[in-house]
Structure 1
Amino acid sequence: MINTSALGRAASTGATRYDDGGAPPRGRRPRWRRAGRAVALPLLSVLVFLGLWQSAAVSGIWSETFVPPLGKIWAAFVDMSTTHDGVRGYGDYLLWEHLYMTLRRVFLGVTVGVLAGVALGVAMGSVPWVRRVLEPWLTFLRALPPLAYFFLLVIWLGIDEAPKITLLALAALPPAAVATTAAVASTPVPLVEAARALGGSRWDVLRDVVFPAALPETFTGVRLSVGIAYSSVVAAELFNGIPGIGGVVKDASNYNNTPAVLVGIVAIGLSGLIIDAVLRAAETRAVPWRGKA
């Protein structure tokens, strides 16, 4: 085996050595300043957007039904998060309860879809005839919008949790499968041949060579799967979607309750950002060699 620890020590030593005796090159900003800038710029963009929204709301150009002021959106958030005048949240559920049910559905659907997609990707990337058989079906499924088959799932599975989770799983499967297939198929052939020459079995080659090489692109596929599943939440919760953020958005839109719709959209977007950040952190820890080899 290659002494990867020695290579790592050499790389880390080389990465911190400078011609001027160890001092960082001039012009490089301190880490705290770079971190502050990374936080300040997104925050500034949010403040600018909120300012533009409020200006459009108070200008009178559009009706409050289309562009409600920030105060009404905040009031809707408070109403949906508390019990007021004997009314509990929205549809008798608090906002966090709606969000919990949506995240639960997304988690279950994405877990099933990603596991199936990765398994299919490994099989399709490793066995050519499996890829030839399954790739047309995978492409067909990837081209379908979720609403195209959601009503069929409702007919088959009813209106409870089964069609929602199945829809999210079907939405999450293609990105994971495509990314894993491409990653497995592009594993460097010399590494595979070297592992076989050293007596590695098929499973040894998959475990020690193919899986580590495919892991970075597989993580990309997982992130795409989560994003696509999240974009399908409203479709998945069209029927019997309360409790659920998608159900709130759909129900509130029926009554032109724009503030509640916007609260639901923001809740979906912010939770999606947090989940993506968690996935990126997990990717950084699980695949530290990405971009360095």
Structure 2
Amino acid sequence: MTSLIDSSTPGTATSAPAGTGDEAPRAGDHPSLWRRLATAVALPLASVLVFLGLWQLAAVSGIWSETFVPPLGNVWTALVDMSTTHDGVRGYADYLLGEHLYMTLRRVFVGVTIGVAAGVALGVTMGSIPWVRRLLEPWLTFLRALPPLAYFFLLVIWLGIDETPKITLLALAALPPAAVATTTAVASTPVPLVEAARALGASRWNVLRDVVIPAALPETFTGIRLSVGIAYSSVVAAELFNGIPGIGGVVKDASNYNNTPVVLVGILAIGLSGLIIDAVLRAVETRAVPWRGKA
């Protein structure tokens, strides 16, 4: 039988003739890894460069006013001005860009933490107890269907214009995705696993802790990521009133004066920070749920 392994004499090395272009890869070379890394970096970078080029081309073409499509230089100047003290003016509205972003992230973190914790707890309860699910599911669906801006003004009437209505809005926006994902995941736990655990003498709490929750974790993490995304999309609404310092407040205030470069800087700050947070959540999910897609 012919072997696919080279049967040359042990101790001898067979190499391709120099200059043929068929040299064997050296030890430590990982062409496929480098190719994947290059692709992962090159394609997103190329798409960004193409977008920026098209934007600049549209800005200098004169088809649209600079109020609608400002040149990239104006956006860069706005970014620098918002990040430094210049001509006696500190950032935007006397706060630096980093301070605006910090306040927004703090509101999002607190609101999402409250909303996700309540949503996961509610989802576990609804998924485990059918009558609770039938009782609360219409209310959860009703809340999920409402755009956050629809009830923000009611929260302002009830809670004022300080931090409480902002955090409450973000928590209410983050709650439904986490609750729905967790409810579905818990209710979909494989019955044979539950029956096997009970046959081995596991209590109801043991089954919930050791079988149901691990089985539900992958979908729960998906719901958490959705909750963060929806909360981020609600930031501008949450910071409509008394939102400075805050990126949403900056975007709203700058739009009142048609200050498009500042609006674009705010949008970029929200979007980029959102990408970073989502990447962190995916890394945490990979570590916390290594069995996802393998079982």
TM-score by length of 2: 0.90
Which position in structure 2 is the counterpart of 1:141? 143
1:174 aligns with 2:152: no
The alpha-carbon deviation at position 20 of structure 1 amounts to: 6.4
1:39 aligns with 2:41: yes
Spell out, residue by residue over 1:151-194, the C-alpha distance to the aligned partner (whole angstroms, 9 max, x if none). 00000000000000000000000000000000000000000000
Which position in structure 1 is the counterpart of 2:291? 289
- Distance in 2 between residues matched to 1:97 and 1:171, nearest whole Å: 24
Q: What is the total number of aligned residue pairs between the two structures?
A: 269
Q: 1:223 to 1:20 in 2, by over 3 A?
A: farther
Matched residue SS, 2:59: helix
Spell out, residue by residue over 1:229-251, the C-alpha distance to the aligned partner (whole angstroms, 9 max, x if none). 00000000000000000000000
1:243 aligns with 2:245: yes
- Distance in 2 between residues matched to 1:134 and 1:87, nearest whole Å: 52
Q: Where does 1:162-201 land on structure 2 (aligned, <5 Å)?
A: 162-201=164-203
- Distance in 1 between residues matched to 2:191 and 2:79, nearest whole Å: 55
Matched residue SS, 1:210: helix
Spell out, residue by residue over 1:187-224, the C-alpha distance to the aligned partner (whole angstroms, 9 max, x if none). 00000000011000111001110011000000000000
- Distance in 1 between residues matched to 2:218 and 2:194, nearest whole Å: 18
- Distance in 1 between residues matched to 2:175 and 2:198, nearest whole Å: 31
Which position in structure 1 is the counterpart of 2:54? 52
- Distance in 2 between residues matched to 1:156 and 1:229, nearest whole Å: 20
Which position in structure 1 is the counterpart of 2:18? none
The alpha-carbon deviation at position 118 of structure 1 amounts to: 0.1
Identify unmatched segments of 5+ residues in structure 2. 6-29
Larger-gyration structure (1/2): 2
TM-score by length of 1: 0.90
AA of the residue aligned to 2:109: F
- Distance in 2 between residues matched to 1:270 and 1:43, nearest whole Å: 14
1:77 aligns with 2:79: yes
The alpha-carbon deviation at position 29 of structure 1 amounts to: 5.5
Q: Aligned to 1:255, which of 248, 254, 257?
A: 257
Which position in structure 2 is the counterpart of 1:99? 101
The alpha-carbon deviation at position 30 of structure 1 amounts to: 1.3
- Distance in 2 between residues matched to 1:159 and 1:70, nearest whole Å: 35
- Distance in 2 between residues matched to 1:29 and 1:204, nearest whole Å: 48
- Distance in 2 between residues matched to 1:110 and 1:40, nearest whole Å: 33
Q: 1:20 to 1:190 in 2, by over 3 A?
A: farther
Matched residue SS, 1:274: helix
Spell out, residue by residue over 1:33-66, the C-alpha distance to the aligned partner (whole angstroms, 9 max, x if none). 1011111100100000000000000000000000
Which position in structure 1 is the counterpart of 2:92? 90
- Distance in 2 between residues matched to 1:287 and 1:179, nearest whole Å: 16
Identify unmatched segments of 5+ residues in structure 1. 1-18, 22-27
AA of the residue aligned to 1:216: P
- Distance in 2 between residues matched to 1:256 and 1:290, nearest whole Å: 47
AA of the residue aligned to 2:217: L
Matched residue SS, 2:131: helix
Q: Aligned to 1:159, which of 152, 158, 161?
A: 161
- Distance in 1 between residues matched to 2:227 and 2:37, nearest whole Å: 29
AA of the residue aligned to 2:75: I
Matched residue SS, 1:131: helix
Spell out, residue by residue over 1:122-159, the C-alpha distance to the aligned partner (whole angstroms, 9 max, x if none). 00000000000000000000000011100000000000
Matched residue SS, 1:164: helix
Spell out, residue by residue over 1:3-37, the C-alpha distance to the aligned partner (whole angstroms, 9 max, x if none). xxxxxxxxxxxxxxxx968xxxxxx9611210111
Which position in structure 1 is the counterpart of 2:204? 202
Q: Where does 1:216-231 land on structure 2 (aligned, <5 Å)?
A: 216-231=218-233
Structure 1 stretches of 4+ moved >4 Å: none
AA of the residue aligned to 1:191: L
Matched residue SS, 2:242: coil
